[in-house]
Amino acid sequence: MMAFSGQKLSRKNIALVIFIQICLAVLLVTVYQMSNTQKEWISNQLDKTQFEHAKVILLWTFPFGQKFQLNKCPPHFDPSGCFFTDNRELYSIANAVIFHHKDVSRTKRQLPQSPRPIYQYWIWFNMESPSHTRNLHFMENKFNLTMSYRADSDIFTPYGYLENKKSDQNFTIPTKTNLVAWIVSNWYPTSKRIQYYKELKHYVTIDIYGKHHLPLSSDIQVDTLSKYKFYLSFENSAHEDYITEKLWYNALTSGTVPIVMGPSRKNYERFIPSHSFIHVDDFPSAQELAAYLLELDKDDEKYQQYFNWRAMYQSSGQFDWEHIYCKVCKALEAAPVYRTRPSIEKWFR
């Protein structure tokens, strides 16, 4: 009797386990179907409203997690035919996806893992120099368009630019009370720019602002720097077209004369007039550069010649993520025949 009861109990347990497994399977299928139905509903609703007759441009991540308002592009970007979103649920219907390299370069799994829709453009976006861009080999044979500060990018997004000056706009050189300023946060004693600064400071007074030096809040930065005759626009590395806010905003927007270290003088002259800046390579040594700065400090007429270009041009150096992304809409209209960039690394390095 005892053995028979145990056998009976065992059959009941088996039946219970089977019943539970069936219930779980039904539940999983139901959830899966509901999920698919919900996704389809979202896509259908958006297709019928905001996305009808528009190109959907998906930001896979906001750059460095810095969120900003989408779909607020100024009229001159001609954004009417596009709709920007950061909603990854729309990946399957997006015409283009923008990937900010820094945010997807740690592992390959940071890129989409689901199948890629046919003819969807993948746009590689990067504003860092090659020296600070890792794991480019992750990007091989995946991207259709490039977007960066490099002038030979498919979508050119410089840190700043010059534009023709309007006739009713006049530039007045700010009153100068100091000689040389520099803002630097990443202080690496062995770097070329730090070594050059250490040599230069023996001959001229240089005021340094930044994380490890004099504090300078962003709301008074332009006013503070405008009081200096010169600003050290020293890039953290020298690469083609890598000319950042150190020139465009810190120096030119502040109305001071930039002393540049970065790519060659010839490269700078592709973007700004030859007599709007001083290049460290123009002088055999930091001592000879210092002597030239002291000469300009005593000769107002010669110093003011570095501002003559402002009679024809004005600089725009306020870096703006929103406006950079706004360029994508028009670029898609003019995009070449669908093709894949075989080697981002070979091109960018």
211 and 125 within one domain: no
Interatomic CA distance for residues 81 and 78, integer angstroms: 8
Instruction: Check 40, 52, 89, 128 and give the catalytic one.
Output: 128
Q: Tell me what percent of the residues of the chain surpass a pLDDT of 90.
A: 69
271 and 167 within one domain: yes
233 and 147 within one domain: no
326 and 230 within one domain: no
- pLDDT tops 50 at residue 170: yes
Per-residue pLDDT at 37: 46
Alpha helices in the chain (DSSP H): 2-48, 101-104, 192-200, 221-225, 245-247, 265-268, 286-298, 300-304, 321-333, 344-348
90 and 69 within one domain: yes
The CA radius of gyration of the chain, in Å to the nearest whole number, is 29
- pLDDT tops 50 at residue 88: yes
Per-residue pLDDT at 91: 95
- pLDDT tops 50 at residue 117: yes
93 and 208 within one domain: no
166 and 312 within one domain: yes
Per-residue pLDDT at 31: 39
309 and 167 within one domain: yes
What CATH number corresponds to the domain at position 69?
3.40.50
Whose tokens are 């460095």? That residue is 64
Encode pLDDT of 209-254 as tens digits: 998 899 999 999 999 999 999 999 999 999 999 999 999 999 999 9
For 285, the domain range is: 161-318
Residue 333: which pLDDT band, with cuts at 50, 70 and 90?
confident
165 and 145 within one domain: no
212 and 118 within one domain: no
Whose tokens are 């800046």? That residue is 277
Residues 6 or more apart from 270 whose CB is under 8 A from it?
151, 241
Total number of domains in the chain: 2
Flag whether 29 is in a domain.
Answer: no
Per-residue pLDDT at 337: 79
Interatomic CA distance for residues 60 and 44, integer angstroms: 21
Flag whether 42 is in a domain.
Answer: no
What CATH number corresponds to the domain at position 208?
3.40.50.11660
Query: Is 128 part of the annotated catalytic residue set?
Result: yes
